[in-house]
């Protein structure tokens, strides 16, 4: 029992991503995370509707249907209800993680100028597509490094588990206070190493 508790504590405490990552059941219930491709779909749809003669508000509503993973409910409701474009733009800005500020500004400008704005949203769609491509290339190039980091971080955990399960690690646990201190320091270093690796991986994933 003691062996199992120690191994479990090392793994759970040292890998924050395991605690924050949902289990399969909760993952199925969680909304799919939107990405650059969703923003591209929205912007292309919005531009296409504008070129077809739709108003800016109705173009946004129709464009939102092409990007269901974007949480555009607030913006769509505001547009359909005829609320000020500033409120519609605010809803769009908070829903688009990559280009929200630019798209919101384009909406405000298009609403105030009344000019042909389809080309503006097409350019924004190209920008979002390029950003998505760069992000995919970055993830592909760093995949091997992330895998290596995970292996390096997990190796000490595996070694501790093997030592405890084969009984060799019991020597420290039976050595009194000194052995307990050594074991605690070792586990602490493993946990710290895992935390550092997890932080580095999260930073790499969030990098533009």
The pTM score is 0.55
Structure confidence at residue 75 (pLDDT): 92
Residue with the larger pLDDT of the pair 50 and 116: 50
3 vs 13: CA distance, rounded Å? 15
Where does the pLDDT of residue 172 fall: very low under 50, low under 70, confident under 90, or very high at 90 and above?
Answer: low
Where does the pLDDT of residue 192 fall: very low under 50, low under 70, confident under 90, or very high at 90 and above?
Answer: confident
Question: What average pLDDT does the structure give for the chain?
Answer: 76
Contact assessment for residue 107 and residue 88, using Cβ atoms and an 8 Å cutoff: yes
Where does the pLDDT of residue 168 fall: very low under 50, low under 70, confident under 90, or very high at 90 and above?
Answer: low
187 vs 10: CA distance, rounded Å? 7
CB atoms within 10 A of CB 145: 12
Beta strands, E only, 5-63: none
Which of these, 20, 18, 16, lies nearest to 192 by C-alpha position?
Answer: 16
* Distance, C-alpha 164 to centroid of its chain: 36
Please write the tens of the pLDDT for every residue from 131-163: 888 777 777 776 776 777 677 667 777 776 776
84 vs 55: CA distance, rounded Å? 14
Contacts of residue 180, Cβ cutoff 8 Å, sequence gap at least 6: 172, 173
Please write the tens of the pLDDT for every residue from 42-88: 999 999 999 999 999 999 999 999 989 899 999 999 999 999 999 99
Quick one: angle between helices 73-80 and 56-64, nearest 10? 150
């Amino acid at each position: 029992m003691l062996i199992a508790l120690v191994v479990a504590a090392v793994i759970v405490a040292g890998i924050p991503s395991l605690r924050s990552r949902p289990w399969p059941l909760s993952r199925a219930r969680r909304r799919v995370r939107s990405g650059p491709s969703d923003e591209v779909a929205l912007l292309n749809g919005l531009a296409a509707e504008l070129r077809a003669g739709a108003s800016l508000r109705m173009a946004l509503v129709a464009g939102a249907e092409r990007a269901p993973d974007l949480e555009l409910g607030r913006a769509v409701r505001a547009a359909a209800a005829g609320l000020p474009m500033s409120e519609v733009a605010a809803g769009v800005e908070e829903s688009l993680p990559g280009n929200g500020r630019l798209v919101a500004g384009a909406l405000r400008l298009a609403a105030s100028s009344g000019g042909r704005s389809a080309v503006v949203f097409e350019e924004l769609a190209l920008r979002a597509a390029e950003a998505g491509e760069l992000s995919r290339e970055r993830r592909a190039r760093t995949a091997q490094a992330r895998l290596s980091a995970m292996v390096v971080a997990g190796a000490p955990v595996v070694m501790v588990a093997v030592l405890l399960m084969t009984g060799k690690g019991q020597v420290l646990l039976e050595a009194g206070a000194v052995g307990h201190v050594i074991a605690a320091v070792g586990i602490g270093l493993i946990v710290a190493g895992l935390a550092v690796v997890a932080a580095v991986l999260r930073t790499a994933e969030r990098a533009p």
